Amino acid sequence: MDYSAIEKAAKILRLPDEAAMKEIRYRYRELAMKYHPDRCPEKKKSICAEKFKKIHKAYETILKYCAEYKFSFKKTDLKKGQAEEYDEDHRQRFYENWWGDLKKKPK
């Protein structure tokens, strides 16, 4: 599977650069409900049917990519991911407003 197919599928599903399966399913269902031919007005059924087919194909592409993705279950890899999340959270909480609002004039 090439990157361009995955990139195209993610764009069709309007996915961010990183997404959990829960978010992928939600986005697919949201778009599928919006463009399902049975839910569209009569005069837009053919347009909706085409969009629905593209959305479904994109979802299948993403699912195939996820199914073939190799996950690491090594302890070091798991800790590495958790440490990165902790570091980012820590930086945001600790350093946010460290210097206060320097634009405010003292009273």
Could you report the per-residue pLDDT of 15-30, keeping only the tens digit for each? 999 899 999 999 999 9
Could you report the per-residue pLDDT of 47-93, keeping only the tens digit for each? 999 999 999 999 999 999 999 988 777 877 766 655 555 555 555 65
Q: Does residue 106 carry a pLDDT above 70?
A: no
- Measured CA to CA, the distance from residue 20 to residue 22 in angstroms comes to 5
- Measured CA to CA, the distance from residue 3 to residue 12 in angstroms comes to 14
Domains and CATH numbers, the chain: 3-71 (1.10.287.110)
pLDDT given at position 33: 95
